[in-house]
Amino acid sequence: MPPAKQALQDINREMEYLNKTLEKRRKEIQDLNKEISQARIHLREFIIRYFSDLIIQVSGTSLETFNDFIKREIGDKGINIETKVQNEFERQTQGISNEIAKIGTTFNADMSSFEKHAGTFGRIGIKLLEQSKFINATNIKLARDGIVAVGKFVGIDLALKFKPWGAVNLAGSINKGLPLIGLAFEAWDSYNKYRKQQEFEKAKEEMKSNFDRQKQEILDLINDETRFKQTCFPSVFELEKCIQECEESVKKTQECAQGLEKWIQTGEDFIKGEDFIEVEPERGMN
């Protein structure tokens, strides 16, 4: 009986410790979600401001300044726009990614500590953990392996669907000495000033429309919380999953421990003679 009582004490102590640490990790993730909400607000403001500014700038260009605007703000195949947007996303999210990595590292340390202690529980304690399916040959290792990717910030792939800038071959057009607009024209100078201006205004309107569509696509990403987290913080889902699985295992283990405690109590009551059956006296006896 003493080994069983020792196993019960060991299990209860470790489950209480794990519950407290898991609560801390859960609270840290809740705080992270608040930071993610703030990052989305800042990114939303940046995207609206940035693309609105681009629209204002292109609206104010002339035939003489349009190409300078293209080189300065758009770049070859839109590289300047993509770089500015990418940089702002990483500026707003890298700190959060680092925090996720810290939580993952701490979680791994918690699980490693538990695994070491579990090995000292003795046959009854280990059997109880196996019965509750808290430990088996792989699940603790899988939990730790699932968090490994959390500790590495590898940048964000926005994977934007709408990229209208690929058709702008900036370097080629500069080398040919032709304006970026009207590339299909064989002889720009053969058109009169009115036609030039009409084509120019059309090109500007199309570019403003492109800016609006690009802005809306990025805003759609930011406004969709799940998609935003999958894009910028994919590892947080794995971390939350591991924590939830451990919480469920702790609960199952505590239920199994309650069964062991009742079994121990029943045995102790029997040994002490406290478990007896009252026998009704025979009739006629005083």
Tell me the per-residue pLDDT of 142-190, one tens digit each, with 9 for 90 and over: 455 554 444 444 456 666 655 555 434 433 343 344 445 444 444 445 5
Q: How many CA atoms lie within 13 A of 70 on its CB side?
A: 23
8 A C-beta contact, residue 128 and residue 7: yes
Return the pLDDT at 243.
Answer: 83
Sign of torsion, CA 212 213 218 222? positive
pLDDT at 59 over 90: yes
Residue-range domain boundaries for the chain: 2-271
Tokens found for residue 267: 């045995």
Grade residue 215 by pLDDT with cuts at 50, 70 and 90: very high
Residue 71 DSSP class: I
Beta-carbon-side half-sphere exposure of residue 22 (alpha carbons within 13 Å): 20
pLDDT of 110: 80
Q: Which pLDDT does position 70 carry in this prediction?
A: 87
In this predicted structure, which of 98-107, 184-193, 195-204 has the lowest mean pLDDT? 184-193
Long-range CB contacts (within 8 A, 24+) of 24-30: 25/103, 25/106, 25/107, 25/110, 25/243, 26/243, 26/247, 28/99, 28/103, 29/103, 29/236, 29/239, 29/240, 29/243
Count of C-beta atoms within a 10 Å radius of residue 19:
15
For the stretch 112-130, pLDDT in tens is 777 776 666 656 566 666 6
Confidence of residue 202 (pLDDT cuts 50, 70, 90): confident
Q: Which of 27-36, 113-122, 163-172, 219-228 has the lowest mean pLDDT?
A: 163-172
Task: Choose among 135, 139, 133: nearest CA to 118.
Answer: 135
Q: How far apart are CA 24 and CA 61, in angstroms?
A: 55
> 95: pLDDT confidence band, cut at 50, 70 and 90?
very high
What is the pTM for the complete model shown? 0.70
Task: Indicate whether 7 pLDDT > 90.
Answer: no
pLDDT at 44: 97
Neighbour count for residue 158 (Cβ, 10 Å): 14
pLDDT, residue 188, reads 45
